[in-house]
Amino acid sequence: MAVIDRNGNFLSSENKSRIFSQENILKFLYNTIEGRILLKVLTLPLFSEGVGMFMDSRFSKFLIKPFVKRNNISLSDYYTDDIKTYNDFFTRKIKPEMRKIDKESRSLISPCDAKLSVYNIDSNSTFEIKGSEYSIYDMIENKKLAKKYNNGLCLIFRLEVTDYHRYCYFDSGYKSSNMHIKGELHTVNPIAFRKYNVYKRNSREYTLLHTRNFGDAVQIEVGAMMVGKIKNHHGKCYFTRGQEKGMFLFGGSTIVVLLEKDKASIDDDIIKNTLNGFETAVKYGEKIGTSTKKYD
């Protein structure tokens, strides 16, 4: 799926040589007998945890400079004084002035830097994303809660490894405890969808958010291959718009937000892009829609 920014410009978000190399590796893993045998090991949480331990060690620091150079990352946008490991770098905190939060109460903001697609949830709560059909129940394994989002909206935020990997609350309110669903950690690259229902099998964590302006929403953080941890900062608590909710450690990842029927209107450019088969590049704190709540 191609990516378009908010001005209608097509984006080339990844280095071509890196894509070629990555695609070859994924084709081997998903399309050959030997690769699928290796994949069974690679997708075990234990393996991902081992990779995570290495990324948390000082031995991983040598990976940072090549990554920065290859992806033309401006480190001046981030706090870098305490970076001692690759995961320190991967979860580096951006300077506030680089991600301004839309504070307007009616504005629905993006919880993260990502490539966004938006879908209606049909009467059967099943729909197709990147060639993989699944139900809301598959995502959260809670039939009663899944039913609440009949005819609502499903927002898919796909993060690449070059994106900022911290995420925030998109409105103010209070939240339930974090519900963790254990699973295998598959890549979110589209090639995986040819063999596996990736979202259904991935490790994920979801939270019910009782928001001030958008009703009861569900936010689901989905771990991808090599992501050992989804790190949410809070259990049950009150939260405020733009407050950091958590972060992903090493790897590309996905956030899914479920909104009830008639709680928000998504910006026209995002809807149009999704209907035309394009993702829209959005930024942490940026307006992506408007509340339909009646205000006095």
User: Which residues make beta-bridge pairs with 129?
Assistant: 132
**Gap between the Cα atoms of 267 and 102, Å rounded:** 14
Yes or no: say if 207 and 219 are a contact pair by the CB < 8 Å rule. yes
CA angle 114, 216, 142 (to 5 degrees): 85
In angstroms, the CA 117 to CA 205 distance is 20
Side-chain half-sphere CA neighbours of 286 within 13 A: 19
Contact status, residue 259 vs residue 217, Cβ threshold 8 Å: yes
> What amino acid positions are annotated as catalytic residues?
113, 253
User: CB within 8 A of 252, min separation 6: which ones?
Assistant: 158, 159, 160, 161, 163, 187, 188, 189, 224, 227
Q: Determine contact, residues 94/77, Cβ cutoff 8 Å.
A: yes
Identify the CA nearest to 221 among candidates 249, 251, 253, 189. Answer: 253
For residues 82 and 69, is the Cβ–Cβ distance under 8 A? Answer: no
